[in-house]
Structure 1
Amino acid sequence: MGYKGPISQRQRRFGDELQRLRTAAGLSAAEAGALVGMRGPAVSHTEAGRITLNAERLEIWLDAYGCTDPAFRSGLAEMGRSTGKGWWTEFEGRVPDLALDLAEVEDRSIRLANYEMLYIPGVLQLPAYAEAIFEGTSGQWSAEDQVRFRLARQRILDEDRTFHFVIHEAALRMRFPGDAVMRVQLLHLLDVAERPNVTLQVLPFTVAKKPPSPGSFLFCEPDCLDLSTVIVDAPARAEHYGDSESIAAYRQRFDRLVDLALPPVNTAEPRKDAAVRDSWGVMQHLLYMLQV
């Protein structure tokens, strides 16, 4: 059965994984189709995410492709049978499709690692900050709907997931929302950083080495690490990467950013050495500047 409407990133990823496995197994589309009673063109449409694949055919293909990893098989099967529906469904036609794709990828993840250069991460933005970002924007998407969607995403902070944020100091110094809004926003970051499932670090201007990534990105890990997704900010739209090379490269980049960034915000333990600069100290300094 064919999909109705635009093809989501989940559907594309499901098809990409099937094609990758088939190619690695040395089978043509026609040979794979013969295993499950499908013609070659139908196999190609399935691998392009245009038509669905039932669980029985998926199992036959995974066996024939030599895929024995139970976590991968389970994760791929879940992607294949998903309806793509969730809290974000109410925003269909009201926000860009790339925003819906982002919400669905986040929903499948249990660990999220985010590096941001110029803005506070979306799931940490307060309403006034988000409104300042979308204020004055034009096009088919209303600023009100985009703000509501961004705030709705933040429910994942209350769910059973872990988060690691590395935020460039530049993002913390931006004053486009106004000093009062930025002060409240920084206080909110400190509050969120106290959650046991959240780690927050600042990458300072004074970092001694060049950061390993020139742009912001979000690393989303589900139960099966091989089905992780990296979402990279681009000028026109966000790009999704799921190939093993990109996953390994961006995991290494984030680990490097963690090493370069200041020690995380940690209010649970007293600071042992006031001379050591850390993320908490930078944010306190910026708060002081905003009240002068």
Structure 2
Amino acid sequence: MGFRTGISERQRRLGEELRRVRDAAGLPALEIGQAIGVKGPAISHIEAGRMGLSLERLNIWLDLCAVTDAEYRAGLTTLSQSNGKGWWIEYRPHVVPSALDLAEFEANATTLDAYETLLIPGLLQTKGYSEVIQGYNEKKVEFRHLRQKLLTGENTSPFRAVIHEAALHMMYGGPTVMREQLDHLIEMSNLPNVTIQILPFDCTTYASTETPFMLIHGPHTRLGTVLLEHPHGSTFMGDPEAVATFDRKFDRLRALALPPLSVATPASSSAHRDSLGLIQHIRYKVQGR
């Protein structure tokens, strides 16, 4: 087993999970190393994602730590045996590593939940809007729109988005781009796997709404991931307590947001009583610019 020259977030996450189950079992690294036939220092490299683990050794590790949950073991097996190759690999020269990690996580997600404050979620962006956000970088825009096949391809993933009303008022690209973007939100809400809600300005309850995030639900509740984006890059968090905290936060935001967009249900007379009515109201104002 040699050292990896680059560690993907999937590989790092597997190592974290193996450390968690070892700590929960109260087993020292030396004992695990003896059981799988490696020297003690190698365990720290495996848990850091710097070294891989064969399926045989993975099963010995999990058996020794008394991991009996079949779904959790299957999820760890997938993390261990995946080669990380997918359509996103072709874009390695053009996007940052965290973008590749996100695409890989999304490809294996069971559900995706996103909250945005000043931007339309990437999976819901039009090409014109993405061009502005990505600085008219053709490859980055292309990459973002290939990610959107998660919502419209053959094996679609459920996607729930809560978008702060502020994002709808940002005139990125000008009125024409924003009109198209608002129309696209309505169009995407027609998909059976997409749920879009707007958190309005007139919400009177504070729910820590300033931080955008994405919840990537894995094949097991213990394998969920939170993505936080900030000026210095992206941070993936897999700690179960952190994931549970953001899961509760997203449920809270959904409860505070307006009812989901639904073109099947006529918009209410008040523009601020449902998400569709609010978007249509803002679109009318944008059209007048």
TM-score normalised to structure 1 length:
0.94
CA distance, structure 1, for counterparts of residue 104 and residue 116 of structure 2: 20
Match of 2:148 among 150, 154, 157: 154
Q: Distance in 1 between matches of 2:274 and 2:207?
A: 17
CA distance in 2, matches of 1:36, 1:150: 41
- Conserved 8 A contact 2:157-2:193: yes
- Amino acid paired to 2:11: Q
Pick from 266, 273, 280 the counterpart of residue 270 of structure 1.
Answer: 266
| CA displacement 1:164-222 (0-9 Å, x = unmatched) | 00000111111021100100110011000011111000001110111334210000112
Aligned 1:1-292 pairs, distance under 5 A: 1-2=1-2, 4-135=4-135, 143-158=137-152, 159-271=155-267, 274-275=269-270, 277-292=273-288
Runs of 4+ in 1 over 6 A off after TM superposition: none
SS at match of 2:230: coil
Residue 3 of structure 1: how far off its partner (Å): 5.2
Letter in 1 for 2:121: P
Deviates more, 1:47-56 or 1:212-221: 212-221
Letter in 1 for 2:269: A
The residue that corresponds to 1:139 in the other structure is none
How far did residue 230 of structure 1 move?
0.6
SS in 2 for 1:166: strand
Alpha-carbon distance between aligned partners in 2 of 1:239 and 1:230, rounded to the nearest angstrom: 8
Q: Distance in 1 between matches of 2:167 and 2:265?
A: 26
Task: Quote the offset at 1:291 in angstroms.
Answer: 1.2
SS in 2 for 1:202: strand
2-side partners of 1:112 and 1:5: how far apart? 30
Deviation at 1:36, TM superposition (A): 1.0
Distance apart, 1:4 and its partner CA: 4.0
Q: Distance in 2 between matches of 1:270 and 1:132?
A: 32
CA distance in 2, matches of 1:19, 1:290: 52
Give the Cα separation in 1 of the matches to 2:194 and 2:112. 10
The two structures, once aligned, show a CA RMSD in angstroms of 1.3
Distance 2:112 2:134 in 1: 24
For residues 140-163 of structure 1, the C-alpha deviation after alignment (integer angstroms, 9 at most, x for no partner) is: xxx222111111111111233101
Matches of 2:228 and 2:6, distance apart in 1: 21
SS of the residue aligned with 1:233?
strand
**What is the SS of the residue equivalent to 1:274?**
coil
1:215 aligned counterpart, secondary structure: coil
TM-score (normalizing by structure 2): 0.95
What is the CA–CA distance in structure 2 between the aligned matches of 1:155 and 1:40, rounded to whole Å?
44
Unaligned runs of 5+ in 1: 137-142
- Identify which range, 164-173 or 209-218, moves more after superposition: 209-218
Amino acid at match of 2:176: A
Letter in 2 for 1:131: E
Decide whether the 8 Å contact of 2:117 with 2:209 is kept in 1. Answer: no
Answer whether contact 1:186 1:287 (CA < 8 A) is retained: yes
- After superposing the two structures, state which structure 1 stretch, 4-13 or 198-207, moved more: 4-13
Q: Is the 8 A contact 2:197 2:260 kept in 1?
A: yes
Aligned mates of 1:241, 1:124 — CA distance in 2 = 23
Cα distance in 2 between the residues matched to 1:217 and 1:231 = 6
Deviates more, 1:152-161 or 1:40-49: 152-161
Cα distance in 2 between the residues matched to 1:186 and 1:2: 50
Q: What is the Cα deviation at residue 274 of structure 1?
A: 2.6
In 2, Cα distance between equivalents of 1:63 and 1:289: 62
Distance, in Å, in 2 between the alignment partners of 1:179 and 1:160 is 31
1:3 and 1:90, CA in 2 relative to 1: closer, same or farther beyond 3 A?
Answer: farther
Equivalent residues of 2:258, 2:273 under 8 A apart: yes
